[in-house]
Structure 1
Amino acid sequence: MRLNALIASAALALTLATPAVAQETVAITGGRVLTGTSVIENGTVVIANGRIASVGTGAAPAGARIIDARGKVVAPGFVAVDSGLGGSEVSSVQGSNDLSNSANTLSAAFDLSYGLDPWSFTLPVARLGGVTRAVVTPRHGGSSGGHSHDDSDFAGAGHGGYQSPGLFAGQAAVIHLGQGQDILVRPRVAMVAPFGEAGARVAGGGRGAEFVLFKETMAEVRLYARNKAAYDRAALRDLSLSRADLEALIPVAEGRMPLIVSVSRASDIRQVLRLAREEGVKVILDGAEEGWLVADEIAAAGVPVLLHPNSNLPGNFQTRASRMENAAALNAAGVVIAIKANEGAVHRARETRYNAGNAVSHGLPFEAAIAAITVNPARIFGFAGQFGELRAGAAGDVVVWSGDPLEPLSQPSAVFVNGVEQPMQARNLMLRDRYKDGGEGAMPPAYSAR
C-alpha cells in the first residue's frame, strides 16, 4: 500500500506539468468581473479557442460549459514582474539557479530563456495565487526586491580584455504558467542593468563613473553597428564588450528594447531620466523607492515603474525616503506602475496580490492596484491587449475568486491559462495532505516501523 501511495504521489506531481488537451468553450457567468480597466456587475466571460471570446452581460453561448460565478469575482490572471519563476528552484543552491551569470565574455547577451524549467515546483504554487504570466529577469547584486546569494558583482570579463565586471545583467523573458513543456511566451523583452549603489560598484565605486561607462558603452555599440564589416576584418579599434554583448545591446541603443534600471534614490532617478533623454534609450525604473519625491518628473518622461509597495524602511542611504505611500503618489502623478511580489517573485510570487492590497491600504485606488498587477505590466513590456486583461481577443487567462482577490482570505476556485483550466494542486498542498493526518503512507517507507 505504501509503494502504491508513493507511485500515485509521483504521478500526480508529474501531471502538474503535463499539457492539457482540448480546449472547450467556457462561459463564466454571474460574477463581478474585473476586466483590468473596468468593472462589470453580473458579467459573463466567454473563453473559446484559448482566448477571450467576449466580455459583457449577455447570455452564455449555446453548448458552452457554464461556471456559475454568482457571489464571486472574476479577474484576469495576474502578471508577476521582476520575477524569477521558472529560472530558480532554490536560490541558495547554485545548480538550480539560472538567473545570474558570471561568464568571462558574456553580460548583456545572457539570455535566461534557455534555462527555464516548465517542471519547476514554483509554478503551480504561484498559479494558485492567481499568477498566470511572469516577466522573468536576470539577477544581479543590486536587483531591486530580488533575493540573491551570489556574492560576485556582475557578469563581465576581466583578464580576457572585456569590460570587468559587466554593467548589464542580461535579458528578460516573458512566460506563462500553464501546464505544458513550452512556457516561453517571448525571450529578450528587456535588458537589465543596475544603477545607484550597485551600478557605482560596477564602475569602480562612484556614480559619476557609472554614467560615463554607460555612455561609452552605447557609443561603442553604435560604432559596432555602423561598422560590422570592419569589425569582421579586425579593422575596427578594440572594443570593451564581446561581439555577443554588442549585438545584444543594439536594440537598446536604438530605443527598441527597454532597459530595466534598478535604481532607488531620487537623485539617481533624475540622472537616469537625464541619461535616457541624452542617449535616446527607453527605460523602465525598477525599485524607485524614493520615486514619490520626483513623481512629476517620472510622469513627464513617460517612464513606467516596477515597485514593491511595502518598501518603507531605509536599509541604506539610497532608500532614506522610502514610504508605503510611494505607489499611491506615483499613480496620482500619472506614472504607470506595476507592483512586484516578494523575494524576487519566485517562492513568494503568490504574494503579488497581497502587496497590491497593501498599496490600497496606503492610498492607491483599488482599480489602480488591479491594473498594476494585470494590464499595466502587459503594457509596460509591449503586450497591451494580449494578456493581463479581460477583453475579446486577449489570452484566456482568467481566475475565479471566492471574493476580493486583494483580500488574503479569498481563494481561487478556477484558474485558466490560455483557455485551459488548470489543476488546483501544487507540491506544497500534496505534502500537506500526505503528512497532516499521519495515516497510511504518511511517512516514507524507510522511516516506517516494520
Structure 2
Amino acid sequence: MKAYPKMYMMLPLMLGWLFAACSAPVAQLNAQDIAVKGETVYTMAGDPIENGVVLIRNGRIDRVGPASRVSIPDGFDVYEAPFVTPGIIDTRSVVGLSGILNIPHDQDQLETSNPFQPDLRAIDAYNAREDLVVWLRNLGVTTVHTGHGPGALASGQTLIAKTWGHTVEEAVINPAAMVAFTLGPTVSSNYGGSPGTRSRMMAMLRAEFIKAQEYSAQENPTRDLKMETMVSILNGEMRAMIHAHQVSEMMSALRLQQEFGFELVLEGASEAYLLIDELKEAGVHIILHPTMVRTRGETTNAAFNTAAKLAEAGIPFTFQSGFEGYVPKTRVVHFETAIAVANGLPFEHGLRALTIDAARFLGIDDRTGSLERGKDADVVLWEGDPFEYTSRVCTVIINGELASNRCQ
C-alpha cells in the first residue's frame, strides 16, 4: 500500500494558491531585454552553471554562462533567484479544453455522442485564456501537450501550445500532434456499454485502420474526416497515443502497432514495470501516469517507483498532469515528478523529463527545453529546489515576455 505524501494534507493551501494564481494580473505581450541571474542555472545543455546569467533579447536566449564571463548590459531588467531552469513541459494534459469551473460549458475534453471520433480537432476547443492555463503558467509550466482526453476509443486530436497568448493562434506550436485513443473498461462505461469487451474494442480499431488503408488506396475518394485522420496516422503525420494501464491493454496496443506500422505512444501505463523487456524491445515512448494517481480500477497496481524502473531499463518516458474529474481539474506535472524523484528516479533524469527530453519527444527541441542561444526564452526562476513542494515559482518568462512575477 502506498504511503501518501504530505502533499495531500496541504489541499486547503493548494486551493488557496489556485485561486490567488488565477486572479493574478497578466502582463502585456511585449518582449523585453531581460537578464536572469541564478545561484544555480540548469541549462539542460550541459552541467549546471553556478552563479549563472541568462541574457534574453527579442524573445530569444542571447547568451548563457557564468557571471564572470557574461556581463549584463545597461537597460536590462534583472531578475534573480536561487534556481533557474528552462520552462516546464507537460507532455499530456487536457487543460484549455477542460476548464476550472467544472461545469458543462467548460468541459470539452471528451465528446460522448460517439466512441470513435479521431477527427475532432483540439484547436477548435482550446481556450488560451482559461484560468486553468493561467494557474499552470504561474507554477512554471510554459508548454503543454493538450487536447482530447482519455475515455473514448478515439476521442480526438491533441495540440502543443505555450501557456501564453490571448488566442489559440498565438499560443499554438503544433495544431495537430497526436490522436488520443483509449483501451480499457472506461470506454464502455462512458458510452452505455459500447463497444463492450476488450476483444470487441480491438476488432473495432483494427477495422478502422483497415478502412483507412483502403481509403488511402483510392484515387479520388469522397472526403471523410475520420478516414483522413486515420490515414495521417498511417502516414506518420500524427502519432497514435494510446491510453492503456493494464498489461492486457498495453500488449494489445503493441500488437496493433506491429500490424499497422504507425508510431505508437503509450499513455498511462500503470503496469509498465511488468513489461520492461517487451516495452524496451518495442521502442515506444511512455507518457507515464501521474505518480500520485489514485490507485483504483485500472490504476490499482500503479507504483511510486515505476519511473525509476523505466529509467534504469533505458525506456524513454516523460511525465504528465493527466485529467482529473474533480476541481482543480488538473495535477501539476513537476509535483508528480518530485514524488518519482523521492522514490528512486535520479534528480537530473526527472528534470530532463520535464524539459529537454519532453521537448525532444514532442519535436520542439529546436525551440524550447533547454537554455541555449537562439531558443525561445522560456525560463523559470525558483526560490528553492524545483522538486521541493514548498519552493515557490518566483518568475516565469515565456517567449522573452514576463508572464508571472510573484516573489518580487
1:82-93 alignment, distance < 5 Å? 82-90=92-100, 92-93=102-103
1:239-254 alignment, distance < 5 Å? 243-254=224-235
Q: Are the structure 2 counterparts of residues 330 and 391 from structure 1 closer, same or farther at C-alpha, using a change threshold of 3 Å?
A: same
Distance of 1:36 and 1:177 partners within structure 2: 21
Q: Secondary structure, in 3 states, of the residue corresponding to 2:203?
A: helix
2:105 match: 95
Q: Secondary structure, in 3 states, of the residue corresponding to 2:154?
A: coil
1:187 match: 175
Q: Are the structure 2 counterparts of residues 253 and 102 from structure 1 closer, same or farther at C-alpha, using a change threshold of 3 Å?
A: same
Q: Would the aligned equivalents of 1:404 and 1:410 in 2 still touch at CA under 8 Å?
A: yes
Gaps of 5+ in 2: 1-20
Distance of 1:112 and 1:204 partners within structure 2: 24
State the TM-score, normalized to the length of structure 1. Answer: 0.77
Moved more, 247-256 or 284-293: 247-256
Distance of 1:136 and 1:342 partners within structure 2: 9
Deviation for aligned residue 1:272: 1.5
* 2:247 equivalent to 1:266: yes
1:280 match: 261
* 2:8 equivalent to 1:27: no
Moved more, 100-109 or 208-217: 100-109
1:288-437 alignment, distance < 5 Å? 288-311=269-292, 314-316=295-297, 318-341=298-321, 343-344=323-324, 347=328, 349=330, 351-424=332-405
Q: Percent identity?
A: 25
Distance of 1:367 and 1:255 partners within structure 2: 31
- Of 256, 264, 275, 2:237 maps to 256
* 2:204 equivalent to 1:213: yes
1:131-210 alignment, distance < 5 Å? 131-141=141-151, 154=152, 167-181=153-167, 182-198=170-186, 204-210=195-201
- Of 49, 55, 63, 2:64 maps to 55
Distance of 1:224 and 1:105 partners within structure 2: 21
Deviation for aligned residue 1:47: 1.5
Q: Secondary structure, in 3 states, of the residue corresponding to 2:385?
A: coil
Moved more, 93-102 or 218-227: 93-102
Distance of 2:86 and 2:330 partners within structure 1: 16
Q: Would the aligned equivalents of 2:94 and 2:322 in 1 still touch at CA under 8 Å?
A: no
Cα shift readout 1:389-446 (whole Å, capped 9, x = no counterpart):
2222221110111111111111122210111012436xxxxxxxxxxxxxxxxxxxxx
Q: Secondary structure, in 3 states, of the residue corresponding to 1:214?
A: helix
Read off the aligned partner of 2:73 and give its amino acid letter. A
Moved more, 170-179 or 37-46: 37-46
Deviation for aligned residue 1:13: 8.5
1:440 match: none
Q: Are the structure 2 counterparts of residues 122 and 320 from structure 1 closer, same or farther at C-alpha, using a change threshold of 3 Å?
A: closer
Distance of 1:132 and 1:368 partners within structure 2: 19
Distance of 2:24 and 2:344 partners within structure 1: 42
Distance of 2:230 and 2:130 partners within structure 1: 30
Aligned-pair Cα RMSD in Å:
2.7
Distance of 1:82 and 1:291 partners within structure 2: 17
Q: Are the structure 2 counterparts of residues 179 and 362 from structure 1 closer, same or farther at C-alpha, using a change threshold of 3 Å?
A: same
Q: Would the aligned equivalents of 1:126 and 1:348 in 2 still touch at CA under 8 Å?
A: no
Deviation for aligned residue 1:244: 0.9
Q: Would the aligned equivalents of 1:132 and 1:178 in 2 still touch at CA under 8 Å?
A: yes
Deviation for aligned residue 1:100: 2.1
Q: Would the aligned equivalents of 2:98 and 2:329 in 1 still touch at CA under 8 Å?
A: no
Structure having the higher Rg: 1
Distance of 1:131 and 1:350 partners within structure 2: 11
* 2:46 equivalent to 1:46: no
Cα shift readout 1:108-163 (whole Å, capped 9, x = no counterpart):
1100212222221222211121111111120243xxxxxxxxxxxx4xxxxxxxxx
Cα shift readout 1:262-312 (whole Å, capped 9, x = no counterpart):
001123222322321221011111110000111232223221111234357
Distance of 1:140 and 1:300 partners within structure 2: 26
Gaps of 5+ in 1: 1-11, 142-153, 155-166, 233-241, 426-450
Q: Are the structure 2 counterparts of residues 176 and 361 from structure 1 closer, same or farther at C-alpha, using a change threshold of 3 Å?
A: same
Distance of 1:341 and 1:312 partners within structure 2: 10
1:128 match: 138
1:448 match: none
Equivalent pairs, count: 377
Distance of 2:186 and 2:123 partners within structure 1: 24
Q: Secondary structure, in 3 states, of the residue corresponding to 1:44?
A: strand
Distance of 1:52 and 1:315 partners within structure 2: 44
Distance of 1:106 and 1:289 partners within structure 2: 24
Q: Would the aligned equivalents of 1:17 and 1:119 in 2 still touch at CA under 8 Å?
A: no
Q: Secondary structure, in 3 states, of the residue corresponding to 1:286?
A: strand
Q: Would the aligned equivalents of 2:121 and 2:157 in 1 still touch at CA under 8 Å?
A: yes
Q: Would the aligned equivalents of 2:116 and 2:154 in 1 still touch at CA under 8 Å?
A: no
Distance of 1:404 and 1:45 partners within structure 2: 19
Q: Secondary structure, in 3 states, of the residue corresponding to 1:249?
A: helix
Deviation for aligned residue 1:26: 1.7
